[in-house]
Chain A
Amino acid sequence: MKYSYYPGCTLRTKAKDLDTYARKSAEVLGFELEEIENWQCCGGVYPLSSDEIATKLSSVRALNEAKVKGQQLVTLCSACYHVLKRVNDDMQNVEDIRVKANNYMKLDEPYMGEAKVLHFLEVLRDEIGFDELKKKVVKPLTGKKIGAYYGCLLLRPGEILGFDNPENPTIIEDFIRALGAEPVIYPYRNECCGGYISLKAKDLSAKMCDNIMDSASGFGADMLITACPLCQYNLTKNSKATVPVYYFTEILAEALGVKGEEE
């Protein structure tokens, strides 16, 4: 199976691990991530003002490319997933945005939201299946107590992202179980880390991250995993807690036995 792949800028700079281990794992799992040409930054934030068009165009370009290739568009970063999915929803349902974006893009055929956006985790859950993934695991992470950290961008707004139940998600826990480890369920796993507020009010983000880390370690987590580079940054740089935070793709590659191959 071949998917269009949208890495996003952070995965080329700060979050190379998220990208590298995803590609290696995909190879083992038997699917191909075909990076789309000429992708640009998604903007990192979904523009909430309804007359904002320019910042949505990068997403429309990526979505249209996947459509033209007849492939589903896979992404890894929570922010990219969030922005692509919401812009795609706009292109399907908000006539004003659809018309303006298409007028600007002048595509051969107007883009109407036909592409399907998948998070890498959704590929594992819905396309491969966690039971199949379990069979491919060669080094099960037995004995590890791992807390899933979802953050907010993957889950909300729930009715548009449709990723999982925003108040009580299970997908990353199921993923952890498939790799042979034990998921630690703690109530702050879907709370915000502060996101970009970290640039302006570091102490506020620090407080939010401490709540998350304290709750996770209080319930016995040895480590956290996340899909979001910004969450990873805030949790490791802003919190005084010392629980390590990894990208989910890293433990995936480890369990699949392809982590040590690099360099």
Chain B
Amino acid sequence: MNIPSRTRDGVTILEPKGKITIGVGDIALREAVHAALDSGAKNLLINLKLVTTIDSSGIGELVSGYTTVTNRGGKLKLLNLPPKVQDILQITQLVTVFDIYDDEDEAVASYA
């Protein structure tokens, strides 16, 4: 799986699709986060709108990404959580960790 990315106002937006699950999308997400950081990105926004399934490994990759970006002085935030992903972030209590937006303009502006 190749995760598309684009940059807007200095924020790198990753847009995974389908499953972020063990052996399927989790490694792709990790690679996309690291590729963005390696190319000089500091602030990342992950748009989860088109994600259909996320398992504990996928959640683990979001957390890893969050930690890595934070440790490098940047911010990793989430955009457009589908209800199923929202439920899982509630269950895992990670809603208390991530900044979550449902509007891209607002999300991008929040990094300023």
Real binding pair: no
Which residues of B approach A to under 8 Å, CB–CB?
Answer: none
